[in-house]
């Protein structure tokens, strides 16, 4: 089991995935937890692993700030068409990984709805900060150890 928090902690709620992952690592030092900025190459490397993978990322879907949603099997809803010139996001990385035949044995994406993504802001909105703490605690209780098991794939 590997847990990856994706995001940028200097961009307001964009850091939700990283904050949650860091907190989870504090609560459960036995887990394999890491963070990444969401750069597509790194995401592809992570998706190439042989262990079940949980990815925690900030989500912008128009819902209330702090709402946590789970997407088992990495089944993200269709995203708005948007091509980056420089980088891609988790959605593209998943799609690219699939077309290359890369897929971890299981993949759960957990999205935390953010409210503000201001550049140069090193803090989360209060609702999002609370959601991160709650989610980290939930995952700490839910996830089994580094070598075995996985995550219950309960949707939403």
Partner 1 sequence: MTHRVPEGARDLSVAALARVEGEGAMRIRLRDGELEEVAFSIYEPPRFFEGLLAGRRMDEPVDITARICGICPIAYQISAARAIEAACGVTIDEGPIRELRRLIYCGEWIESHALHVYLLHAPDFLGYDSAIALAKDHQEVVEQGLALRKAGTELVRVIGGRASHPVNLRLGGFYRAPSPAELAGVRPLLEAAREQALATVRLVATFDFPELEIDHAFVSLKEEGRYPIDAGRLVASTGLDAPVAAFDEHIVEEHVERSTALHARLSGHDGTFMVGPLARYALAREDLSAVARSAADEVGLPAVVTNPYQSIVVRAVETLEAVEEALAIIDAYDEPDRPAVDVPARAGTGYGASEAPRGILTHRYTIDDDGIIVDARIVPPTAQNQLAVEGDLTSFIDDHRHLDDETLRWQLEQAIRNYDPCISCATHFLDLTVERE
Least Cβ distance, residue 94 to partner 1 (angstroms):
10
Site for partner 1 in 84-123 (CB under 8 A): 84-92, 95-96, 99-101, 111, 114, 117-120, 122
Per-residue binding string, partner 1, 9-38, x by CB under 8 A, is xxx--x-------------------xxxxx
Distance CA 103, CA 107 (A): 8
Q: What residues pair up with 113 in beta bridges, in sequence order?
A: 59
Distance CA 30, CA 109 (A): 21
Q: Site size for partner 1, by CB under 8 A? A: 54
SS3 11: strand
Structure tokens at 33: 């937890």
Least Cβ distance, residue 112 to partner 1 (angstroms):
10
Pick the closer one to partner 1 by CB: 24 or 57.
57
């Amino acid at each position: 089991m590997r847990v990856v928090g994706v995001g940028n902690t200097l961009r307001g709620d964009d850091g939700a995935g990283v904050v949650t992952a860091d907190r989870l690592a504090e609560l459960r030092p036995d887990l394999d937890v890491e963070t990444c900025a969401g750069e597509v190459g790194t995401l592809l490397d992570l998706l190439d692993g042989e262990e079940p993978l949980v990815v925690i990322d900030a989500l912008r879907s128009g819902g209330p700030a702090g709402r946590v949603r789970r997407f088992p099997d990495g089944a993200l809803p269709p995203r708005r068409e948007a091509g980056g010139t420089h980088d891609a996001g988790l959605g593209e990385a998943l799609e690219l990984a699939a077309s290359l035949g890369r897929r971890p044995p299981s993949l759960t994406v957990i999205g935390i709805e953010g409210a503000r993504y201001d550049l140069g802001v090193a803090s989360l909105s209060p609702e999002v900060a609370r959601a991160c703490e709650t989610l980290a605690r939930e995952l700490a209780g839910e996830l089994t150890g580094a070598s075995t098991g996985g995550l219950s794939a309960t949707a939403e």
